């Protein structure tokens, strides 16, 4: 990015310490207004936690919170220093990857899927009983091109994440500029 996007304390999610939805919306607005420019190529990523309601129903909301912190930590470790990682809503995350092609971003997100599949969430409830469980995410990746705006790129990534869910969850789908009403190239982790 030619100008760093400003960061303020109110822009961080209190649970995960990631950038929050307000930061996400502001960053998209700054890029769309041309106040911040992204290098080409850049990729937009959406991650949606699979079966999150089941985690909350089975282990309680505190365990669900721990699962979100676990996912956030793995995404943050996998992302590069210059990437912008957001918690967009309850169980949805986003990543803005500057200087990454869609293919490179998909490779990084496959590493996220793999890490989640090999690293359990560890949690101890109020009674002191320890639990271990695994979580997965369905991920969509879209390359931000000069022909589309960043908001549309994140929409394509969001649709691709739904294609991942439909194809079996815990995987990465790339939009590759395709019409997402057609079959996407989904890739198991």
- Taking the C-alpha atoms of residue 143 and residue 121, their distance in angstroms, rounded to an integer, is 31
3-class SS at 149?
Answer: coil
3-class SS at 89?
Answer: strand
pLDDT at residue 40 in the model: 81
Instruction: Report residue 126 as tokens.
Output: 């109020």
DSSP element (H, E) containing 73: helix 61-78
Residue 184 reports pLDDT greater than 50 = no
Q: Which of 34-38, 54-58, 115-119 has the lowest mean pLDDT?
A: 34-38
pLDDT at residue 178 in the model: 55
Burial class (CB in 10 A: 0-12, 13-18, 19+), 129: exposed
So where are the chain's domains?
Answer: 9-176
48, 83, 91, 158: the catalytic one is 91
pLDDT at residue 155 in the model: 92
CB atoms under 10 Å from CB of 96, counted, come to: 29
pLDDT at residue 18 in the model: 98
User: Which residues sit opposite 123 in a β-bridge?
Assistant: 131
pLDDT digits (tens, 9 = 90+) for 138-169: 999 999 876 578 889 999 999 999 999 999 99
pLDDT digits (tens, 9 = 90+) for 81-114: 989 999 999 999 999 998 899 999 999 999 999 9
pLDDT at residue 58 in the model: 94
Active site residue 158: no
Q: Do residues 44 and 142 lie in contact, with contact meaning Cβ atoms separated by under 8 Å?
A: yes
pLDDT digits (tens, 9 = 90+) for 2-52: 344 455 458 999 999 999 999 999 998 888 888 888 888 899 999 999 999
Residue 176 reports pLDDT greater than 90 = no
- Does domain 9-176 fall into CATH 3.30.70.270? yes
């Amino acid at each position: 990015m030619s100008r760093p996007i400003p960061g303020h304390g109110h822009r961080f999610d209190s649970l995960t310490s990631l950038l929050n939805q307000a930061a996400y919306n502001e960053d998209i607005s700054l890029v769309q207004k041309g106040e911040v420019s992204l290098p080409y190529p850049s990729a937009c990523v959406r991650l949606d936690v699979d079966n999150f309601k089941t985690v909350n129903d089975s282990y309680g909301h505190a365990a669900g919170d721990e699962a979100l912190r676990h996912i956030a930590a793995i995404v943050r470790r996998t992302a590069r220093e210059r990437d912008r990682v957001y918690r967009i809503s309850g169980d949805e995350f986003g990543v803005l990857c500057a200087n990454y092609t869609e293919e490179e971003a998909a490779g990084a997100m496959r590493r996220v899927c793999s890490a989640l599949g090999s690293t359990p969430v560890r949690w101890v409830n109020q009674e002191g009983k320890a639990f271990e469980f695994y979580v997965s995410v369905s991920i969509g990746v879209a390359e931000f091109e000069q022909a589309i705006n960043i908001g549309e790129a994140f929409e394509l990534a969001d649709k691709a994440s739904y294609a991942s869910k439909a194809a079996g969850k815990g995987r990465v789908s790339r939009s590759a500029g395709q019409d997402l009403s057609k079959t996407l190239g989904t890739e198991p982790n």
